[in-house]
């Protein structure tokens, strides 16, 4: 498991489970605190996961290199399903990368079987 080094994500319980060039995967065990009034996963939580996993997909560097940093320029989210389960898995993939800006897409899966949400984002490197 990789160190996420993000106090907000850590406070939610998010874990960075896989990280390599142009890809990131995060996992979150669902608790009652992650649910909305009707007992389903809060949409804002899925947006947070999409933002994070898409962002991290463009930030991987080998362990001996200085870390990269970024800011989100835009994030579009599509909610596809709602269900009950125990674990969220978010996957981020780089679509295109330039010197200063990169584009990524992401998916949030429930228990690795139900696609709950997708997203696309634009991110800018901070030099």
pLDDT tens profile 69-110: 999 999 999 999 988 899 999 999 999 999 999 999 999 999
d(CA 51, CA 59): 13
Domain map of the chain by residue range?
7-126
57, 81 in Cβ contact below 8 A? no
pLDDT at 2 over 90: no
Report the predicted TM-score, pTM, of the whole model to 2 decimal places. Answer: 0.95
Closest CA to 24 of 85, 102, 104, 79: 104
For residue 115, CA distances in Å to 46, 52, 58, 82, 88 come to 11, 17, 22, 9, 10
Tell me the per-residue pLDDT of 14-68, one tens digit each, with 9 for 90 and over: 999 999 999 999 999 999 999 999 889 999 999 999 999 999 999 999 989 999 9
Q: How far apart are CA 94 and CA 24, in angstroms?
A: 9
What kind of architecture, by CATH, is found in domain 7-126? Roll (3.10)
């Amino acid at each position: 498991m990789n160190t996420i080094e993000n106090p907000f994500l850590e406070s939610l319980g998010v874990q960075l489970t896989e990280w390599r060039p142009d890809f990131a995967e995060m996992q979150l065990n669902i608790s009652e605190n992650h649910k909305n009034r009707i007992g389903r996963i809060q949409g804002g939580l899925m947006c947070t996961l999409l933002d994070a996993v898409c962002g991290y997909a463009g930030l991987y560097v080998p362990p001996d290199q200085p870390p990269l940093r970024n800011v989100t320029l835009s994030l579009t989210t599509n909610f596809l399903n709602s269900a009950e389960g125990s674990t969220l898995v978010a996957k981020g993939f780089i679509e295109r990368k330039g010197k200063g800006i990169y584009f990524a897409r992401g998916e949030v899966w429930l228990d690795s079987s139900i696609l709950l949400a997708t997203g696309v984002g634009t991110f800018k490197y901070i030099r």
